[in-house]
């Protein structure tokens, strides 16, 4: 067997061990993850507003729920082995509104760190906040800018539609905070702000082609959110600035990205026989 034939056969074998990306599976994964985190939080008896009022609350509430959710998502990733989950197939074009959104997000994050009340945070609480932020970045990006976005990019859907649905799904998940003590008004406020900041987090992936960059940006943003603020008014202002940047970028993405980010699936791929798999091994 020639080298080229061997490479093709191995590619077929790898393809055969993967589950094809699907919206049904991505939706199911999202539902289970939400149940794990929200269920853990409700079982702890810690309300949404008290999650980071002490180190004990943080470790027994959000950190535990996020850790369990992270294990679940990583197991799903290992079992499904979806392609183009961690890295885009190709770098997509970045337009000036998208760069503007990234700049606004970065400036807002730095401002929130600058006005944080560091003296009000002891070592145990700070450690819990850092771990929680890292886990949020891992889980929510792997779920939404990973599984959900990859599933929506299937069947040659245009990128604008995939991004819009991913953004709305990410924002909608924050409505579950109503179950943890938030008012309905607060829930809808979080839905809007999370959707727009989620769009900017998508741009971190888009600008580099790497999901891990979006994870890092998300982690820093949430850490700055969990820290007590010494200037709540400024915190709100810069958050709205980041959201406005996301809105401008969203219009640009939906308006211009009318082609798929991934090539049309190869429906004519020949079936892989057991003989092919044995030969590839």
Compute how many other C-beta atoms are within 10 angstroms of the C-beta atom of residue 12: 18
Q: Are 165 and 152 in contact (CB under 8 A)?
A: yes
Nearest CA to 105 among 228, 193, 227, 17? Answer: 193
Give the model's pLDDT for residue 230.
Answer: 86
Q: Which residues contact 103 (CB under 8 A, 6 or more apart)?
A: 245
Confidence class of residue 157 from pLDDT cuts 50, 70 and 90? Answer: confident
Confidence class of residue 82 from pLDDT cuts 50, 70 and 90? Answer: very high
- 3-state SS assignment for residue 89: coil
- Pair of tokens at residue 9: 């056969």
Q: Where are the domains of the chain?
A: 3-264
Reported pTM: 0.86
| Mean pLDDT, residues 50-76 | 96
Nearest 5 degrees, angle CA 215-CA 36-CA 172? 60
pLDDT tens-digit profile of 164-222? 999 999 999 999 999 988 889 988 988 999 999 999 999 999 999 999 999 999 999 99
pLDDT tens-digit profile of 19-45? 788 999 999 999 999 999 999 999 999
């Amino acid at each position: 067997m020639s080298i080229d034939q061997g490479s093709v056969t191995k590619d077929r074998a790898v393809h055969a061990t993967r589950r094809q990306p699907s919206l049904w599976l991505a939706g199911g994964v999202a539902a289970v993850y939400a149940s794990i985190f929200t269920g853990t939080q409700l079982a702890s008896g810690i309300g949404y507003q008290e999650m980071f009022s002490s180190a004990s609350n943080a470790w027994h509430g959000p950190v535990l729920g996020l850790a369990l959710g992270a294990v679940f998502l990583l197991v799903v990733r290992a079992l499904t082995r979806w392609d183009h989950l961690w890295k885009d197939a190709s770098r997509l074009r970045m337009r000036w509104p998208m760069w503007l959104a990234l700049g606004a997000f970065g400036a807002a994050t730095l401002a929130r760190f600058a006005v944080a009340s560091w003296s009000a945070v002891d070592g145990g609480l700070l450690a819990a906040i850092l771990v929680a932020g890292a886990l949020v970045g891992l889980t929510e990006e792997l779920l939404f800018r990973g599984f959900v976005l990859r599933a929506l990019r299937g069947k040659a859907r245009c990128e604008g539609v995939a991004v819009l649905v991913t953004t709305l799904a990410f924002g909608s998940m924050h409505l579950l905070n109503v179950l943890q003590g938030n008012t309905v008004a607060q829930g809808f406020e979080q839905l809007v702000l999370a959707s727009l900041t989620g769009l900017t987090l998508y741009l971190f992936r888009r600008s580099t082609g790497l999901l891990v960059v979006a994870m890092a940006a998300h982690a820093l943003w949430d850490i700055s959110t969990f820290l007590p603020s010494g200037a709540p008014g400024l915190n709100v202002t810069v958050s709205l600035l980041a959201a406005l940047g996301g809105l401008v970028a969203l219009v640009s993405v939906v308006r211009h990205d009318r082609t798929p980010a991934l090539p049309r699936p190869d429906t004519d791929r020949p079936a892989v026989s057991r003989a092919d798999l044995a030969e590839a091994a």
